[in-house]
Amino acid sequence: MTQVVENAAGTGITEPGLRLLADLVSDGEVVVLSGAGLSTESGIPDYRGETGRRRRADPMTYQEFTGSEAARRRYWARSHLGWRHVARARPNDGHRAVAELQRRGLIAGIITQNVDGLQQSAGAAGVIELHGALGRVVCLSCGERTPRGRLEARLHAANPGFEARADAINPDGDAVLPGTVVDTFQIVGCERCGGPLKPDVIFFGENVPPARVRDCYALTEGAGALLVLGSSLTVLSGYRFVRHAARHGVPVGIVNRGATRGDEHALVTLDAPLGGALTALLDELGGR
């Protein structure tokens, strides 16, 4: 039976749901599945949480990006500015709490749907980046992967004086710009072969590599518990691992702002800010 505790963290009060979550985590071998909600406290908006509902962002699809040079120009012009926002973001209390749980030996693996690299910046190791990372770029022709910083320097050189003001920042680092500004932006190709470049992330409409999915399934079914952090589980990409855990008798705990698609499979759900909830979880575990 699922126990829902509203705003369990940040009050200084140990709630029954928080104790149950601590019981789940204290046994160890926990696999973490994190989503965009873990990074909103670092200033990175999400698609479906509180910030996402306010913004109603429509992400570019893989088919759009690969099918049109004009679409790639639009993406890279907007992303050239949006990347600055992502690159400035720093880990928050939630990221640091996950790293601390791993340091204490309670975490067997981390699967993240996020592309911002903040969990690794907080000190987490061995993170499976389900949807890739904005900090890398891949050539669609030869497959070479290069650091994002190198591309940014080339785009800056190709577009001197490009100082457009972004109207908004999307979750994937895509800034909203006027069309007249986008039309003048110059894109660059792969340094090795001249082919089109794409951020090393899984776009909407693109499939996660099968081997990566298999690794996540194996990690999930061997877990002592699956802990979902900051994901509405609206899309199948993350939700399938919750269903997989349930099928294999792996208990599920969820911490998120608002209801999730996986609540029916969870032993415990906390509706609370991630940073406060995970800090409270560390305190509860530390008192045992």
Q: What is the pLDDT of residue 49?
A: 47
Average pLDDT over every residue of 179-183: 77
Tell me the per-residue pLDDT of 94-113, one tens digit each, with 9 for 90 and over.
999 999 999 999 999 999 99
Q: What is the pLDDT of residue 180?
A: 72
Q: Does 113 show up as a binding residue in the annotation? A: yes
Q: Does 216 show up as a binding residue in the annotation? A: no
> What backbone phi and psi angles, to 5 degrees, belong to 210?
-55, -40
3-class SS string, the chain: CCEEEECCCCCCCCCHHHHHHHHHHHCCCEEEEECHHHCHHHCCCCCCCHHHHHHCCCCCEHHHHHHCHHHHHHHHHHHHHHHHHHHHCCCCHHHHHHHHHHHCCCEEEEEECCCCCHHHHCCCCCEEECCEEEEEEEECCCCCEEEHHHHHHHHHHHCCCCCCCCCCECCCCCECCCHHHHCCCCCCCCCCCCCCEEEEECCECCCCCHHHHHHHHHHHHCCCEEEEECCCCCCHHHHHHHHHHHHCCCCEEEEECCCCCCHHHCCEEEECCHHHHHHHHHHHHHCC
Q: What is the pLDDT of residue 226?
A: 98
d(CA 49, CA 230): 9
Q: What is the pLDDT of residue 47?
A: 55
Given a cut of 50, whether residue 283 has pLDDT beyond it is yes
Query: Is this model's pTM higher than 0.95 or not?
Result: no
Give Cα 120 to chain centroid, integer Å.
12
Tell me the per-residue pLDDT of 213-223, one tens digit each, with 9 for 90 and over.
999 999 999 99
Given a cut of 70, whether residue 165 has pLDDT beyond it is no
The CATH code belonging to domain 55-88+134-201 is 3.30.1600
Mean pLDDT of the chain: 88
Q: Does 193 show up as a binding residue in the annotation? A: yes
Q: Does 257 show up as a binding residue in the annotation? A: yes
Sheet containing strand 145-147, edge to edge, reads 145-147, 132-139, 197-201
Q: What confidence category does residue 13 fall into, taking pLDDT thresholds of 50, 70 and 90?
A: very low
Which residues form the catalytic set?
131
Tell me the per-residue pLDDT of 35-57, one tens digit each, with 9 for 90 and over.
999 999 999 976 544 434 433 45
Return the CATH superfamily for domain 1-44+91-131+208-288: TPP-binding domain (3.40.50.1220)
Average pLDDT over every residue of 156-185: 71
Q: What confidence category does residue 12 fall into, taking pLDDT thresholds of 50, 70 and 90?
A: very low
What residue spans define the domains of the chain?
Answer: 1-44+91-131+208-288, 55-88+134-201
Q: Does 190 show up as a binding residue in the annotation? A: yes
173 vs 115, higher pLDDT: 115
* C-alpha pair distances (Å), 195 with each of 69, 189, 228, 287: 11, 5, 38, 56
Q: What is the pLDDT of residue 169?
A: 56
Given a cut of 50, whether residue 118 has pLDDT beyond it is yes
